[in-house]
Amino acid sequence: MSVASWIELSERAYATNVATFRSVASGARVGAVLKGNAYGHGLEQTLVLAHTRVDAIYVITPAEALAIRAWESKHGKQRREVLVIGAVSAEDCVELARSQVSVVAADRGFEDTLRALRAAGEKLDVHVHLDTGLGREGFTNAGLEKGEADFFKDARDVVTVKGVLSHFANTEDVTEQDYAKAQLANFDKGVLLLQSRAGVGADVQRHFAASAAALVLPPSRLDVVRVGIAMYGLWPSAETRLSARVVLGTLPVLEPVLSWKSPSQIVKWLSAGSYVGYGCTWKCAADTRVAVLPVGYWDGYPRLASGKAHVLVNGKRCAVLGRVMMNHLIVDVTHAVTDEKPLVATLIGRDGDEAVSAETLSSWAQTIHYETMTRLGPHLRREVVK
Ligand SMILES: *Cc1c(COP(=O)(O)O)cnc(C)c1O
């Protein structure tokens, strides 16, 4: 076995989080967002957790969707509803149609896809994205009024509009949801426009809420919720956590699914006065027992955490000494162990009474946990534990 850090995914935690959303958003279908290598958790390993538990799967790229179809064939699973919410080319759409993957139509460029589908003789299920105030992908109401999506009316030979969706701009950073409510009003207007101008049926599936809105803005839950970060047991933000307690009356249970651990490469003593790491930014004030861990920013441990971070060994905090390197961390284990035997350090996760959360690691690195998690190296070994 190689000496390398690894990631553990807790199946029990994932099941808990799904149950939380089944209860919070009762009535709505529960979909999981597996983009960004499943927020760094690993697409394949997360499929093991999510595939039978959720009602729909959202990814950003055609490649991710096709990887899900390949995983389903390999493991003899029934095909789940999979929707590509990111950019797709006309050629991608033909291939996705063949694999029964749905795609999002978000702008007038989708007319190219109609031509490609006709040429290939394929039919595609589509969800129309409305830009209700994020300023990102989607038809605006002004665009709809100008007729930008009217082409759907004459596209029924190759396209079935199964859903209409939008995405919130400002639900995580606030405790007042005024902007989100305005977006919801725009959405209702947009759906009516699609119905009157583009021939979209009244029974079309409507979806809008990501994690935060699903938790704190009940009218946003509509027909299905698209839960990303919270399905991995992470709160979108401190504001969302506060608001959820107020809106729901109790704090829903979210359990972090991922732990990140590293074995030691070597445990040894450095004498008082020794320097540690590049730039000699740390000098040992006393004899110091250190563990060299074979993990660094190449693996996704943020270099900006240098000088602030700690890891856990035997339930004790151990400071990261000096700079985070490409492939190494050096941590002070003087008081965490009593000898120089190999040890295991927890970089993210719980050890005894102590925990290092993804949020804490991200705050050391002056970023959000969305970024830290999606930067966890795809090369890291990931295993599902009960
Ligand atoms: C990323 C994303 C989500 C999930 O967001 P979370 O905050 O992680 O729940 C939902 N919908 C769309 C369109 C997204 O891009």
- How far is the C-alpha of 69 from the C-alpha of 81, rounded, in Å? 10
Per the structure block, which two tokens stand in for 273?
A: 């006065």
Q: For the chain, where do the domains classified as CATH 3.20.20.10 start and end? A: 11-248
Answer whether 231 contacts ligand 1 (Cβ < 6 A). no
Beta bridge partners of 282: 276
SS3 string, 144-209, reads HHCCCCHHHHHCCCCEEEEEEECCCCCCCCCCCCHHHHHHHHHHHHHHHHHHHHHCCCCCCEEECC
Q: For the chain, where do the domains classified as CATH 2.40.37.10 start and end? A: 258-385
Answer whether 210 contacts ligand 1 (Cβ < 6 A). yes
Phi, psi of 185 (to 5 degrees): -65, -40
Question: Which residue has a Cα nearest atom 13 of ligand 1?
Answer: 167
- How far is the C-alpha of 326 from the C-alpha of 374, rounded, in Å? 17
Q: Ligand 1, residue 35: give the atom nearest the CA.
A: 1
Answer whether 211 contacts ligand 1 (Cβ < 6 A). yes
Architecture label for domain 258-385: Beta Barrel (2.40)
Burial class (CB in 10 A: 0-12, 13-18, 19+), 222: buried
15: left (phi over 0), alpha (psi -120 to 50) or beta: alpha
Question: What is the Å distance from ligand 1's center to 60 Cα?
Answer: 10
Verify whether residue 58 is a known catalytic residue. no
Question: What is the Å distance from ligand 1's center to 33 Cα?
Answer: 7
Q: CATH number for 11-248: choose from 3.50.50.60, 3.40.50.2300, 3.20.20.10, 2.60.40.10.
A: 3.20.20.10
Answer whether 34 contacts ligand 1 (Cβ < 6 A). no
CA 98 from chain centre, in angstroms, equals 27
Answer whether 214 contacts ligand 1 (Cβ < 6 A). no
Q: In whole angstroms, how large is the CA radius of gyration of the chain?
A: 24
Note the pTM of the prediction, 2 decimals. Answer: 0.97
Half-sphere exposure of 371 (CA within 13 A, CB side): 11
CA distances from 240 to 213, 220, 236 (A): 9, 15, 6
Question: What is the Å distance from ligand 1's center to 372 Cα?
Answer: 16
Verify whether residue 261 is a known catalytic residue. no
Query: Mind listing the pLDDT tens digit of every residue in the chain (386 residues)?
Result: 689 999 999 999 999 999 999 999 999 999 999 999 999 999 999 999 999 999 999 999 999 999 999 999 999 999 999 999 999 999 999 999 999 999 999 999 999 999 999 999 999 999 999 999 999 999 999 999 999 999 999 999 999 999 999 999 999 999 889 999 999 999 999 999 999 999 999 999 999 999 999 999 999 999 999 999 999 999 999 999 999 999 999 999 999 999 999 999 999 999 999 999 999 999 999 999 999 999 999 999 999 999 999 999 999 999 999 999 999 999 999 999 999 999 999 999 999 999 999 999 999 999 999 999 999 999 999 999 99
Question: Which residue has a Cα nearest atom 10 of ligand 1?
Answer: 210
Nearest in space to 181 (alpha carbons), one of 145, 217, 155, 231 = 217
206 contacts: CB under 8 Å, gap ≥ 6: 163, 164, 165, 187, 191, 222, 223
